[in-house]
Structure 1
């Protein structure tokens, strides 16, 4: 993969200095790109819902191709890449959750016959600096799950390496611990945030209600064998409730993945709400508006410090989060397929937009 310019355009607002720069990645897939994830110099591309292609852009550079399964009826539905780039969770169309470590070619099955609605990684920034090797090999995540009985549950899981019985020099991975948090209602968004390295919070949207759980780490020691959230912290705190019964999607902006989030956007079928985190730890509604004609509430959304990227099949639109003025609107080139996805690298804050045949990289030049 060549990440040098194939072509470059600059996008400006009212002829002022550019806000974003776009580059097309020099990469020709041998099939259709169906998913993409990028973080910390690691790129994962899914081809035809079945083939996993991994690129390491940092030294030493590498490329690995792994076939997900020999059963062509089993397809990769979604992927979740850890911010450190080493851990990949894979969700199939059969309702299975699988795991792949970046330095391994063994796909490890974790859970079966479930419907995973959301995945968020648990990032412990201060401890990652202390014990980086541990976090290269172990992963902690929160899953919003609908099980076979159609019960909604938030699960905390710890994925750890174990020796492979067939290949003693290799490792496979298992779920070491599972903790249940809630079986309330449909989860339509969830985020884990690390406050002051010892306090954690889960923010999640549940139907029309925004809720919160708190957790804490005692003596700055990582909870290797127990949940990061004790029983008292599992009491749900209701933050907000919408007036209309159409709660949909929750999007949260982090300046850096392991830092507390700065604001979040709650998009419903009829409305857009923006809440900002105050120094006191409370949230204040900063902006609200109704959906404009032509808005697509089913579009993919990512946030940067000052902008909301909204992508659907036909266009990419960028709005200022303070004013909701459209600062950029582009349409696929005549020789480019419709957009199918958008991804934000949580470490470098680079935006990736892709079609079935092309990958575009948006870099922030001067975001104000």
Structure 2
């Protein structure tokens, strides 16, 4: 696919997404056979795809829009983007888990342009495995009549309230990977709504929302408030994309079913880190390249990549079984997490008490300081 210097923003977004999609398809065809890869190999394939697609997209933007800023999932956040009028928000590979699984088509490439005072003005979502690129300047929403609304949710993090919500509107719930794939399924008429409340970032939804809004679909936070992009902290935890006629019923149902306060962006980042202690999957953990970790005064991590590698492969994390009594205190740009940590030692479970201090000045954790103590004896 050739790129021309006179392309408008929407055409450029579409061509970029398409080119990155072609790259990802070629890589996947070379590395992924009919049988599932081992977990580590599948994760490595997804990360390689993320990196290579990101490099391609950044190179194309540097060539065609050198004055614009970029916010990418795969690049360190540059606060300078807050002072410019045009910012490209990109996710080189959305649905990385699905990308590493044979036969899955629910992964995507997201490219969106945010402009000051206007919001998302150009966007494209490529679904390479379907040979489709959806773009904001040409898209239209299709409607497929079905007896019950079909509500899509995250394959791995469905909202707790979605079951009762579906009952209220007489709908059915279906899981799917990739925010872009779910949003485009609503656009194509293959579903009627996409509801998410499990934590996301701006790059997860910017391009899907740009395309969906241009096609006339309803897009908002789950409380009905607008979706804002190029914010100082790019955490955007929840999302509703649906046919306009369903929006009022879905928003009213969500309001009735939820009453808890959502995590702040910084707390959400810390929660993701703590979750990786048990899951050994740090793909969503945001650590600065020079992040360090100190435990009881001893330096135990000297860089973000080193800490991520240890979270996923180090032997000391394998016996960890549960985090209990978790509380957060947030002050300024810092978060303190206090919790009990269970670990398996032979046939027994041992518990320690942790107080972890996280420095989160922006979109990445820059320092982790932990104090580990014996757990208090139960009364």
TM over 0.5: no
Q: Normalising by structure 1, what TM-score?
A: 0.31
Q: Which has the higher contact order (CA 8 A, sep 6+)?
A: 1
Q: Normalising by structure 2, what TM-score?
A: 0.30
Structure with a larger share of its residues in strand: 1
Structure with a larger share of its residues in helix: 2
